[in-house]
Copies of this chain bind each other. A is one copy, B any other.
Amino acid sequence: MFGEILHQVRMQKPHIHCITNYVTANDCANIVLASGGSPIMAESPEESAEITALCNGLLLNTGVLHPDKLSAMRKSGKTANQLHHPVILDPVGAGASRFRTDSVNILLQEIHFDVIRANLSEIKALFCGEKVSHGVDAVSSDSITEKNLPEIISLIQSIAGKLNTVIAVTGQTDIIADKNRAFCIKNGCSMMKTVTGTGCQLSALTAVFITANPDNMTEAAAAAACVMGVCGEIALEHLKPYEGNASFRNRIIDAVCRLDAETLEQKANYQIF
């Protein structure tokens, strides 16, 4: 299944308008290219809606947010909704400041998102009113384990149902769920946490995947998470003993660039609930 979704990405080469943050923008652009898509970054309110209209899909990532960028996101999100372009939200830092949380809530009120990709702390801050104590990474009490998996799936599906969206929560196990189904992806490795912006990169990749597979967004978002995990594993295989997180970062993107449908199907490790 994921192989066919990857195949569609390679065939359709979707153009993705990315309104994202400067810390990880270069990696996001390169992972979009690695997957077969084409990234366009533009974040001035003066032009964002026009750029959105030129593209096939839209990514809104709230890292290093400022008010002008928020304005651009609102314009682009509405345009994408009008044009029925797939739209994904990565609410980086939601819960970490009032400005960030309020901004994400404005986006959620004005724009319909096809996918929301976040860590569990961000999801809880946005939809369960919990306070965040530790910046942009999920706190350890928000890890997804075998034990709390059923409970978290249930929480996510309930939110997904209310918003009529797909929610992708990533951690040691990734959960990608709509109101009816949940994919639990077990690919990946712990070293991915030592690279800045693997979450941002996955959101960019997800934007490509859902845009190339608009009729199967849940599977497409799950496939993107699986690709990221599989490519983390491949990257680790090629890592030399003296190489660390910087080389690992490059090798993940390299692996996305080289990945074929057969390898993906073979290495994919997931369950559907």
Residues of A at the B interface (CB closer than 8 Å) are 15, 17, 21-27, 29-30, 33-34, 38-44, 46-47, 50-51, 54-55, 63-68, 93, 96-100, 132-137, 194-197, 234, 238, 241-247, 249-258
Contacts and interface: CB of A to CB of B under 8 A. Distances in A.
Contacts of A251: 242-243, 246-247
A257 B253 contact: no
Contacts of A98: 47, 50
A137 to B, nearest CB: 6
Oligomer copy total: 3
Contacts of A96: 40, 42, 47, 50-51, 54
Contacts of A51: 93, 96-97, 135
Contact of A30 (B43, B54, B64, B245): B245
B132 A93 contact: no
Given A33-B196, A41-B63, A197-B29, A234 B245 contact: no
